[in-house]
């Protein structure tokens, strides 16, 4: 695992496909502070806007959700604006050269983290088997398989490459449209499966469907999507790929803590704004 970014590739005919960025490509154009700012904006935006490229994009669009259509349009727009702005106005780009010891010890950390995560997954599955209900017995297995399938999809589609995301969002000579095809393919598959599941009215475990019912396009949705887009365009990272990249790139340790902070800050900010809005509306009624 610690050498994954250097050796993970395959050859098809005359073409070599690489599944990860090199360490140089992954860190290109973004300083440690830049990773932190990107993580903070992404975490805040995802929480306030109730979704990201997976939630609103892959799932929401497939459900024909109006909120998701608006959110995707907003965060795609702000992400492209930010990415192209940084393409012409260079800031927080300084590349630090880590020592060999950093790669060595982070490789050990990543290997240990992977082993611990797999043990936790297996323990969750075993714990599920101890339950009497058949559906509950298999939930851990299907959750593990779903996560594995999602991760492999990110890997084989190249979506773990930060450089590929940046090259999609930036309209430069090396523009890469592949992200659009990946999302379109995922939405098409989900469009069919969601239709079949909704037609059945139950999940594979015969449980009732628990789908979002909110159709209101409110300012928090738009603001959250906009902030998420700014963070995504700034760093080229969204939650899913970033969590997988944690096992290979030490730079994610500068992104992830700020992402978590953004998640925790979003609700208090939203509640404060709602209280202020309610107080303002009340004072108008009284006056």
Gap between the Cα atoms of 50 and 201, Å rounded: 24
Give, in order, the Cα–Cα distances in Å from 117 to each of 161, 238, 247.
22, 20, 11
**114-159 pLDDT, tens digit each:** 999 999 988 888 888 888 777 777 888 888 898 899 989 999 999 9
From residue 195, how far is each of 112, 188, 190, 201, 203 by CA, in Å?
Answer: 41, 11, 8, 10, 12
Taking phi over 0 as left and psi of -120 to 50 as alpha, with beta for the rest, 176 belongs to beta
CA distance 188 to 142: 22
> pLDDT by residue (tens digit) across 180-211?
999 999 999 999 988 888 888 777 776 777 78
The pLDDT score that the predictor gives to residue 211 is: 80
Local confidence band at 11 (pLDDT 50, 70, 90 cut-offs): very low
For residue 19, the model assigns a pLDDT of: 81
């Amino acid at each position: 695992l610690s050498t994954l970014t250097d050796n993970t590739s395959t050859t098809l005919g005359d073409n070599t496909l690489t599944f990860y960025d090199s360490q140089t490509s992954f860190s290109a154009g973004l300083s440690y502070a830049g990773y932190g700012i990107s993580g903070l904006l992404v975490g805040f935006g995802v929480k306030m806007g109730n979704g990201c490229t997976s939630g609103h994009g892959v799932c929401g669009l497939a459900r024909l959700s109006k909120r998701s259509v608006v959110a995707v349009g907003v965060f795609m727009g702000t992400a492209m604006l930010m990415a192209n702005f940084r393409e012409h106005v260079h800031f927080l780009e300084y590349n630090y050269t880590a020592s060999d010891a950093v790669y060595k010890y982070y490789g050990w950390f990543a290997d240990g983290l992977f082993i611990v995560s797999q043990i936790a997954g297996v323990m969750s599955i075993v714990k599920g088997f101890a339950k009497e209900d058949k559906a509950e017995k298999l939930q851990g297995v299907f959750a593990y398989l779903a996560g594995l399938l999602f991760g492999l999809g990110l890997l084989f589609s190249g979506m773990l490459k930060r450089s590929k995301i940046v090259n999609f969002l930036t309209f430069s000579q090396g523009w890469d449209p592949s992200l659009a095809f990946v999302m379109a393919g995922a939405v098409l598959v989900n469009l069919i499966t969601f239709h079949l599941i909704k037609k059945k009215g139950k999940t594979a475990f015969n449980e009732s469907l628990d789908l979002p019912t909110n159709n209101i396009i409110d300012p928090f949705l738009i603001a959250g999507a906009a902030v998420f887009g700014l963070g995504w365009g700034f760093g080229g990272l969204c939650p899913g790929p970033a969590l997988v990249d944690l096992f290979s790139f030490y730079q994610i340790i500068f992104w992830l803590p700020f992402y978590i902070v953004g998640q925790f800050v979003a609700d208090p900010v939203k509640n404060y704004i709602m209280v202020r809005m309610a107080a303002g509306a009340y004072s108008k009624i009284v006056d």
